[in-house]
């Protein structure tokens, strides 16, 4: 598929998806959502890709959903269909077996912030700004913000941000647990690549099982989640890489994994 609003660059087991609507602050419209969904399907099928980086470049991750498109919706049903597609794409991003790192520079507001929340890990440049300002125009987040944000940073702080629509800078986002790391703008993608390569060198069946266990168990009661983790553990325990990892540990050498 030929993409117009995004691009995919693949290198050394990594896939870098870049939003390419810089002239419009990378706002998300129907075409972006469609292309992003297709890109995730392509990446999911590519066995050489082990980790994904999602970025909008150094200056702007995404300023949110395209209000000029949303303003054309004549009925709640039309708006519902649009956000149903957004939910589908964001859920696909979150559930992708391969870890996804958001490399965030500049604005990550509204739907742009929700897009980052759907990723596994988040690295931001010092110039990054985050917020869910929908309340200021009589709306609420429509693509998971009211659910993912509290699960990441806690109910109290999430409610404050959702009720006020206030923006926070990268330092504050890191302090409250929204980010894994804050870096200089000029090295944002390099830092994301470094983390991605570190993950790509781990045994991939174990990485996939870890993501399944974490994501699958978060909405279960503790007893059910522990049981689910046990099933994921059992699956990994039968792999060649698990045997190699334990053997290498006992022999005090570096493991040589086959499924990287």
Active site amino acids:
114, 134
* Token pair in block for residue 170: 């990268």
Partners of 121 in beta bridges: 101
CA pair distance 252, 50, nearest whole angstrom = 27
Partners of 182 in beta bridges: 124
DSSP helix/strand/coil, 201: coil
Burial 106-138 (b: 16+ CB within 10 A, else e): bbbbbbbbbbbbbbbbbbbbebbbbbbbbeeee
* Token pair in block for residue 17: 């998806």
Q: How far is CA 66 from the centre of its chain?
A: 20
CA pair distance 42, 54, nearest whole angstrom = 14
Partners of 106 in beta bridges: 60
Answer for the pair 13, 51: CB distance below 8 angstroms, yes or no: yes
Write the DSSP assignment of 32-59 as a string of letters: HHHHHHHHHHHHHH-TT--EEEEE--SS
């Amino acid at each position: 598929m030929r993409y117009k609003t995004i691009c995919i660059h693949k290198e050394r087991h990594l896939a870098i998806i870049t939003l390419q609507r810089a002239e419009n602050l990378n706002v998300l419209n129907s075409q972006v959502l469609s292309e992003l969904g297709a890109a995730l399907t392509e990446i999911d099928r590519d066995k050489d890709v082990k980790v994904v980086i999602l970025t909008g470049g150094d200056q702007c991750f995404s300023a949110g959903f395209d209000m000029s498109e949303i303003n054309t919706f004549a009925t709640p049903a039309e708006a519902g269909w649009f956000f149903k597609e957004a939910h589908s794409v964001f859920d696909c991003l979150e559930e992708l077996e391969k870890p996804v790192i958001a490399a965030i520079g500049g604005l990550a507001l509204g739907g742009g912030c929700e897009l980052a929340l759907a990723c596994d890990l988040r690295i931001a440049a010092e110039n990054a700004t985050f917020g869910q300002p929908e309340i200021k125009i009589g709306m609420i987040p429509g693509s998971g913000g009211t659910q993912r944000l509290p699960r990441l940073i806690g109910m109290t702080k999430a409610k404050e941000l959702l009720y006020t629509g206030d923006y926070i800078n990268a330092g504050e986002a890191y302090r409250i647990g929204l980010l894994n790391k804050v870096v200089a703008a000029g090295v944002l993608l390099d830092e994301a690549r470094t983390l991605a390569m570190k993950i790509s060198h781990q045994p991939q069946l174990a990485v996939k099982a870890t993501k399944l266990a974490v994501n699958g168990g978060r909405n279960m009661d503790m007893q059910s989640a522990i049981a689910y983790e046990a099933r994921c553990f059992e699956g990994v325990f039968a792999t060649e890489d698990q045997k190699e990892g334990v053997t290498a540990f006992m022999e005090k050498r570096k493991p040589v994994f086959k499924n990287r």
